[in-house]
Amino acid sequence: MISNSKAFIKRIAFLICLTLGVAGGYPPVLAQNSQTNYERPFIVIEDVQVPVTTGGACELVPATTSQSIEVKFDTLQKTVQATTEAMIQLDIEIGNVSQVNLFEMELEYDKERVSYVEETLCLEGGVLISKDICDGKVKLLFGTMQVQDLQEVQKVMSLQFETKDNLKNGDEIQIKLNQCDVVSINDKDETQLIKGLNQPEVITIYVIEEEPTPDINKDGVVTLEDLSIAMKYYSIDSTQDLWDKAKKCDVIQDGIIDMADLIAIRLTMK
């Protein structure tokens, strides 16, 4: 019965379109609501848009819908060490969307402070279609061989950046996710492009300078290996070009790598 009623309503809408087309005019309500363009007003009946035409005919057009997806862009590394190269991993997670199989993303980074290294696709059946790196931006297009249900937030991609050794204490590194678009597709091959961001997502990583310790190589134990590193920079002081690399061995922080630093390291060796 409900199905018959819907069919009847749509039939009435069709007849209204024909009548309006033959008459060559529009209902007063439609004329008032349209400002300058009277070519294709339409009537909405349930989930169907019925455009009114002047040629005495009309077509049924499915109403479009929009989805609001959830995008997370984050990293566990909020700080990096000054004057040393370090890897930074950033993750992109997506949720609140289903039946998706295509993803396009653009990231922007400070090329003077970090370099883009690589990406890892995290969804099953992921295929990287293209990767464009230019002037501090990387654009990635990838798909999945199976349609994905991402109603629950899932990690779709991890990205690796490497810091440069010119970073100073107090510097900040910003990496932006400018674009995160997905395409959903249903069983009838009907598709919808979904824009995931209204504005860029920004991650800020802070550069800090740790105080020197006898554990120079940061392996958790002070050994002959740490003493070897300090010996390499013996007699280097803060006025020399090598100081940026040598200062990690200045255990007593007097501006020079000398016997006092070697003794301090030796006394804490296991």
Question: pTM for the whole thing?
Answer: 0.59
Residue 172 confidence class, pLDDT cut points 50, 70, 90:
very high
Which percentage of the chain shows pLDDT scores above 70?
75
Judge whether residue 76 has pLDDT over 90: no
Judge whether residue 14 has pLDDT over 90: no
Judge whether residue 38 has pLDDT over 70: no
Domain regions of the chain by residue span: 2-62, 70-208, 224-267
Query: What does the pLDDT look like over 123-135, one tens digit per residue?
Result: 999 999 999 999 9
Looking at residue 58, what is its pLDDT? 44
Residue that wins the pLDDT comparison between 70 and 51:
70
Looking at residue 6, what is its pLDDT? 59
Give the span between the Cα atoms of 160 and 162, in whole angstroms. Answer: 7
Judge whether residue 29 has pLDDT over 50: no
Looking at residue 79, what is its pLDDT? 83
Largest Cα–Cα distance in the chain?
Answer: 102
Residue that wins the pLDDT comparison between 212 and 197:
197
Average pLDDT over residues 114-122: 97
Token code pair at residue 199 = 């504005």
Pick the CATH number of 70-208 from 2.60.40.680, 2.102.10.10, 3.90.950.10, 3.40.50.280: 2.60.40.680
Residue that wins the pLDDT comparison between 48 and 117:
117
Specify the range with the lowest mean pLDDT, choosing from 62-71, 72-81, 145-154. Answer: 62-71
Judge whether residue 261 has pLDDT over 80: yes
Looking at residue 80, what is its pLDDT? 83
Residue 85 confidence class, pLDDT cut points 50, 70, 90:
confident
